[in-house]
């Protein structure tokens, strides 16, 4: 079903997807962190938009991507509201009131962890 996507957009998606796929088990990241790793050019909203289309791609752990507040802002876009939280808890991440606990501790910043030499 990938026909409306132009080459230029696909490149942006793959770049975001690669980062999301590289998120370690039990870790999470934010849209801004990914945008920052891309050079803060696209903007955090574009990362969220990439996640929106990620549903048509397999192997994209979009549940590991949340906003900077640690809230599961995108849970509503999952098949079920509990799908995202359940997936995160399955990795040992504690969630309460749709918010990730100890977000600062499990936060995975590609700009630092995945930092290029």
Binding site for DNA (CB under 7 A): 4, 6, 9, 12, 30-33, 35-36, 41-49, 51-52, 54-55, 62-63, 65, 67-69, 73-78, 84
C-beta of 9 vs 92, nearer to DNA: 9
In sequence order, the β-bridge partners of residue 100 are: 95
At 88, list the tokens: 């995160």
At 16, list the tokens: 């975001």
- Alpha-carbon distance 69 to 78, whole Å? 19
C-beta of 104 vs 117, nearer to DNA: 104
The residue assigned the tokens 């990439």 is 50
Q: Is the Cβ–Cβ distance between 65 and 34 less than 8 Å?
A: yes
Shortest Cβ 21–DNA spacing (Å): 14
Shortest Cβ 93–DNA spacing (Å): 15
C-beta of 7 vs 116, nearer to DNA: 7
């Amino acid at each position: 079903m990938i026909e409306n996507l132009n080459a230029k957009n696909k490149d942006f998606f793959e770049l975001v997807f690669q980062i999301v796929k590289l998120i370690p088990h039990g870790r999470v990241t934010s849209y801004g962190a990914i945008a920052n790793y891309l050079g803060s050019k696209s903007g955090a909203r574009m990362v969220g938009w990439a996640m929106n289309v990620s549903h048509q791609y397999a192997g994209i752990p979009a549940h590991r991507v949340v906003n900077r507040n640690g809230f599961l802002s995108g849970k509503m876009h999952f098949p079920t509201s509990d799908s995202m939280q359940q997936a995160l808890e399955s990795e040992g991440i504690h969630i309460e009131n749709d918010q990730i606990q100890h977000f600062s501790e499990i936060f995975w910043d590609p700009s630092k962890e995945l930092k290029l030499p």
